[in-house]
Structure 1
Amino acid sequence: MKAYIFPGQGAQFTGMGQDLYDSSPLAKELFEKANEILGFEITRIMFEGTADDLKKTKVTQPAIFLHSVIMSKVMGNSFQPDMVAGHSLGEFSALVANKTLNFEDALRLVSKRALAMQHACELEESTMAAVLGLEDEMVEAICADTKGIVVAANYNCPGQLVISGEQLAVEKACEELKERGARRAMILPVGGAFHSPLMEPAREELAAAIEETKFSNPVCPIYQNVTTFAVTDPAEIKKNLIFQLTAPVKWTQSVQNMIKDGATEFIEVGPGKVLQGLVKKIDRNMEAHSAQL
């Protein structure tokens, strides 16, 4: 069974999507439609912008979404998923891939999500940090014992967890984690505390937009970040997508459940190779590679 997986924020690179635009009339049409929907020339930033231009949340999120979704559409009939999943933002790409959302509605939601998260980040000084080499339970316990808001945010693979919260609380937790034997506890260059309670204002803002959007019956299950199990009910998918902003990304558990349910091959669609690397760390015998056009 083929599991298609879609990357999240951090996978962007200068020039992303240019090859698709130049080689496929369908890709060109979708990119131009995206410029209209967003109200600015995202193609120009994707193809010619600097790394700093691409790092702005209002650009990063739609850019990664567009690269992933347009690539899956250009693949045509060779794109036949048995199951899908996306890491954080990638969940929106996955929902277009399994036909729960249409391209236009999903892009509007991604744009709203990016702006809502940007606003939430501006309300309080906050950050995220990558923690390597400790058991999840120890990281969770140290976060719980640290004064202030700091929580486990991304369960990426065994021994790799990202924490998120108030700047000072994250810094304090990092010190304690290093003392307890973490190989690394490193502050990440991100705009704020994604997948933490500090994203509550963004969750409320996005919830209204999600509730108004039509979600259809998918052609295959999605393994969502919040629950990690196969979901096909549009109402449940909607609910999980709303909670995703303040809840942790349980990527390790999602991949494990996909394998348990019969996944034999993981295909990453979009920029970068981060997710296929994580799949290999979760199960080194699993076949994982980038999508081919």
Structure 2
Amino acid sequence: MKAYVFPGQGAQFTGMGKDLYDQYEEARELFHKANEILGFDISKIMFEGSADELKQTKVTQPAVFIHSVVLAKMMGDHFKPDMAAGHSLGELSALTAIGCLTFEDGLKIVSERAMAMQEACEIQESTMAAILGLEDDMVEKICRETDGVVVAANYNCPGQLVISGAVPAVEAACEKLKLHGAKRALVLPVGGAFHSPLMEPARERLARVIEKTEFKNPICPIYQNVSTFAVRDTDTIKTNLIYQLTAPVKWTQSIQEMIKDGATEFIEVGPGRALQGMIKKIDRSLDVGQASA
């Protein structure tokens, strides 16, 4: 069975999507539509912008979404997923690619999500840190024992877990984790504590938009970050999508569930190759690859 996976924030690069724009009339129409919806020329930033310009949350999230969804659409009849999943933001790309959301509605939600997360980041100084080389349960235990807000946020693959929370709590947890044998405990250059309780204001704002948006039955099951198992019911999809902002991204668990349900081939749709690396660390026997139009 074939699983399509969609990357999240951090996969962006200068020139992303330019090949699709140059090659396909339908792609050009979607890029122009995106510029209109967002109210600024995101195509130009994607094709020519600096790394710093692309790093702005209001740019990054829509850019990764646009690249992923346009690529999926340009694949035409070759895009035949038996199941799908997306890492954090990538969940919205996946839902759009499998017909649950229109391109316009998906992009509007992504834009609102980016703005809401940026706003939440400004309320309290917060950050994230990558923890390498420790068992998940040890990382969870240290987070629970650390004063302040710090939680496990991204279960990327065995031995790689990202924690998230208030700056002092994350820094204190990093020091404890190194003492407990972490190979690395590296504070990341991000502007906020994504997938933590500190994103509650963003969750509330996003919920209002999602509740007003029409979701259709997808063409295949999606394995969502919050629940990890196959979902097709639109009400459940909406609920999981709302709670994703304050809940951890259970990527390892989602991939394991997809394998259990029969996935043998994983295809990454969008910029970068980060998900392929994570999936190989989860199960080296899997066939992984990059989508092309």
TM-score higher than 0.5: yes
Show the 5 A alignment for 1:46-195: 46-195=46-195
- Residues 49-79 of structure 1: CA deviation (Å, up to 9, x unaligned): 1000000000000000000000000011111
Shift of 1:13: 0.4
Aligned to 1:261: 261
Question: How many Å separate the matches in 1 of 2:194 and 2:8?
Answer: 12
Question: How many Å separate the matches in 1 of 2:41 and 2:102?
Answer: 21
Letter in 2 for 1:272: G
Shift of 1:292: 2.0
Shift of 1:97: 1.5
Contact 2:71 2:292 in 1 (8 A): no
- Residues 71-109 of structure 1: CA deviation (Å, up to 9, x unaligned): 000011111111000000000000011111111000000
Aligned to 1:197: 197
Secondary structure of 1:258's counterpart equals helix
Provide structure 1 residue ranges, at least 5 long, that are not aligned to the other structure: none
Moved over 2 A (4+): none
Letter in 1 for 2:29: E
TM-score, normalised with respect to structure 2 = 1.00
Question: How many Å separate the matches in 1 of 2:152 and 2:172?
Answer: 14
Question: How many Å separate the matches in 2 of 1:4 and 1:190?
Answer: 27
Letter in 1 for 2:284: R
- Are positions 1:272 and 2:272 aligned together? yes
Letter in 2 for 1:84: A
Secondary structure of 2:266's counterpart equals strand
- Are positions 1:41 and 2:44 aligned together? no
Provide structure 2 residue ranges, at least 5 long, that are not aligned to the other structure: none
Shift of 1:142: 0.2
Question: How many Å separate the matches in 2 of 1:261 and 1:244?
Answer: 23
Aligned to 1:244: 244
Question: How many Å separate the matches in 2 of 1:112 and 1:170?
Answer: 27
Question: How many Å separate the matches in 1 of 2:28 and 2:110?
Answer: 20
Question: How many Å separate the matches in 2 of 1:119 and 1:52?
Answer: 19
Question: How many Å separate the matches in 2 of 1:44 and 1:97?
Answer: 23
Q: How many residues align?
A: 293
Question: How many Å separate the matches in 1 of 2:106 and 2:114?
Answer: 12
- Are positions 1:14 and 2:5 aligned together? no
Identity of aligned residues (%): 72
Question: How many Å separate the matches in 2 of 1:281 and 1:239?
Answer: 30
Question: How many Å separate the matches in 1 of 2:191 and 2:5?
Answer: 24
Question: How many Å separate the matches in 2 of 1:173 and 1:143?
Answer: 6
- Residues 174-227 of structure 1: CA deviation (Å, up to 9, x unaligned): 000001100000001111000000000000000000000001111100000000
- Residues 103-153 of structure 1: CA deviation (Å, up to 9, x unaligned): 100000000000000000000000000000000000000000000000000
Question: How many Å separate the matches in 2 of 1:291 and 1:42?
Answer: 22
TM-score, normalised with respect to structure 1 = 1.00
Secondary structure of 1:107's counterpart equals helix
Letter in 1 for 2:86: G
Question: How many Å separate the matches in 2 of 1:148 and 1:191?
Answer: 18
